[in-house]
Amino acid sequence: MVRKIPLQNGEFALVDDEDFLICSQYIWRKTSLLTISAIINGKSKTMSEHLMNPQKEEMVIHENGDIYDYTKDNLKIISEKDGIKTREKPNKNGFRGVYQPNKNKNKYGARISFKGREFYIGIFDTKEQAAKAYDKKAHELHGDKAILNFPESREEYKKQLNS
């Protein structure tokens, strides 16, 4: 059975019934990094870390991409190295790292995560512009291992980095 854990903003995260008690004792909030976290033993900890306890050099991903779904069927521990390949999947806009800000439905934002940090790239007029900005930052951070929205632009990004 799936249970709901309330978040400070009135939303809910989903957990398996057996995880409800270990999660319900904390006050959870959605962070600007699009994670759910709480203060546990004086330190900020994400719900996925709390439930899955990944080791150093490991990370937890949501297989279905839903940041509110913390059921064990959805959470998977992978190496940080493999995380480079899977972290930024195409979303409903059709591009990796592109989102539509709630305040302005006519604009598109770009962001990327790298080594536990979220990089806000900017706001753009089209989703294609945002996707290209994401690609440029992804190539800057990940080099030839970056998964790009427009792989044909890889050589252009290499030249820009080397100039």
In angstroms, the Cα distances linking 35 to 86, 108, 113 are: 16, 20, 12
CATH architecture of the domain with range 88-162: 2-Layer Sandwich (3.30)
pLDDT of residue 26: 97
Q: Give the global pTM.
A: 0.53
Q: Delimit the domains of the chain by residue range.
A: 2-82, 88-162
- Return d(Cα 33, Cα 24) in angstroms, integer: 22
- Return d(Cα 37, Cα 18) in angstroms, integer: 19
Both tokens of 59, joined, read 């990370």
pLDDT of residue 74: 83
Other beta carbons less than 10 A from residue 162's beta carbon: 6
163 residues of the chain, pLDDT tens digit each: 999 999 998 999 999 999 999 999 999 998 866 689 999 999 999 999 999 999 888 888 777 667 788 999 889 888 776 665 544 556 667 788 888 877 667 888 888 887 777 889 999 999 999 999 998 888 888 777 777 788 777 777 777 767 6
Are 93 and 127 spatial neighbours (Cβ–Cβ below 8 Å)?
A: yes
pLDDT of residue 84: 55
| φ, ψ for residue 122, nearest 5 deg | 155, 180
Other beta carbons less than 10 A from residue 4's beta carbon: 13
Both tokens of 71, joined, read 């059921």
